[in-house]
Amino acid sequence: MLFVAEYEFGWESLSSVVAKRLEWGEVQPDGFRFIGEYIWSDRDPPFRGVAIIEAADVEALNAFMLHYGPSLRIAIHVATDVESGIAMVHQEPRRPRKKR
């Protein structure tokens, strides 16, 4: 599955974030892959970025979150390509499962 991770951090976390990113290549689990990473300077907080991630399972995504810990504020969103999203609009809605 594809995910977009939005993150932000301040000057006080810069060296920690850089160190953790350099370590990640050595410790990342199977089933996790960066598709793209982008960062830019902003006013407050000073740094913001996004990472497009492919994760095979929730454990791989959790490993990413736990690796960075409190050094980043991260929000993860499931991502769907535009064509698939449009196709979903035209599908019949699924019936809700009966609760037991």
Contact between 61 and 2 under an 8 Å Cβ cutoff? The reply is no
CATH fold for the domain made of 2-89: Alpha-Beta Plaits (3.30.70)
Query: What is the value of pTM for the model shown?
Result: 0.79
Q: How many of the other CB atoms lie within 10 Å of CB of 20?
A: 16
Banded model confidence at residue 4, pLDDT cuts 50, 70, 90: very high
* Domain ranges (residues) in the chain: 2-89
6-29 pLDDT, tens digit each: 999 999 999 999 999 999 999 999
37-87 pLDDT, tens digit each: 999 987 889 999 999 999 999 999 999 999 999 999 999 999 988 888 888
At residue 15, φ and ψ (nearest 5 deg) are -65, -35
The per-residue pLDDT for 17 is: 95
pLDDT beyond 80 at 99: no
